[in-house]
Amino acid sequence: MLKQWFSGGLRRQIGRIEVAGVIDSKTRERVLRALKEVEEKQIPAVVLRIDSPGGTVADSQEIYNALVRLRERKGIPIVASFGNIAASGGVYIAMGAEKIVSNPGTITGSIGVIIRGNNLERLLDKIGISFKVIKSGPYKDILSFDRELTPEERNILQELIDITYSQFVHTVAAARRLSVNVVKTFADGRIFSGEQALHLGVVDRLGSEEDARLWAAELAGLPPETKFYDLLPRRRGWARFLPAAEALERLQFEVSTSGLPLWLYTGF
């Protein structure tokens, strides 16, 4: 009886999923679990709150695909709400929503791809450290930190970047009903405000998360006073006051993604 009452109550609430910080495998796992809960508990609408500079390509793609599947299979309206920053991979996952609401001053855009590597060759020479590498092919140690890229390696990486960039551009174009050529006019890595995003056709409306909630309720045929059900509860208590832990997470992300194509606003 209690389970039936609880499930029935959720059918009269709007699911809230917050994507905060860098999009990585942990973010993907949490969001996919939340979307599964939406489906299982028959939650009638979702607000996807995005406050992220972006992140890894494949994790962003999987979140986007899961959002599209949920909408197509269950007809559940999803409204994305942009917070302080919704850039790069944050924009990509928003393309999985039916509608997008942004604050006028949100930092968004940064539609593009970056791959990062470090060259410590000169430092290693100074301290007398060198590496001996035995490899199965000429490109197995591409982006090695103890030497410069060769012209051939640079071409390989540029082709990888170009292909991944094309995936991003085509997704934005399809989701926002824009031509690929139009998207390319602003998909050059630049950032822009939420107000500019509205003029470019990247978002549908300017407004707050509350406005997104009201729109989600309208799309689902729910009363305007319908409340949120937080599918990914925010960190509470002492966990909110650990900047060192957040810095460590960012460092781990930097190390683990070295050499990977990223949909990431580099100013984060």
Q: How far is CA 190 from CA 94, 182, 184, 214, 231, in A?
A: 18, 15, 11, 31, 32
Q: Give all domains of the chain, ordered by start, each with its CATH number.
A: 2-112+188-234+250-264 (3.90.226.10)
Res 233: pLDDT:
62
Q: Give this prediction's pTM.
A: 0.88
Is the separation of the CB atoms in 121 and 146 below 8 Å? yes
- Rounded to 10 deg, the angle between the 57-74 and 151-176 helix axes is 20
In whole angstroms, give the CA distance from residue 65 to residue 62. Answer: 5
Residues with a known catalytic role: 88, 140
Residue 64 contacts residue 92 (beta carbons within 8 Å):
yes
Gyration radius from the chain CA atoms: 21
User: Which contacts qualify for 247-251: CB closer than 8 Å, 24 or more apart?
Assistant: 249/21, 249/22, 250/22
**pLDDT tens, residue order, the chain (268 aa):** 445 444 456 678 999 999 999 999 999 999 999 999 999 999 999 999 999 999 999 999 999 999 999 999 999 999 999 999 999 999 999 999 999 999 999 999 999 999 987 777 788 778 888 888 888 999 988 988 888 889 999 999 999 999 999 999 999 999 999 999 999 999 999 999 999 999 999 999 999 999 999 999 999 999 999 999 999 765 444 444 455 556 666 667 777 777 788 988 876 5
User: According to the model, what pLDDT value does residue 70 have?
Assistant: 97
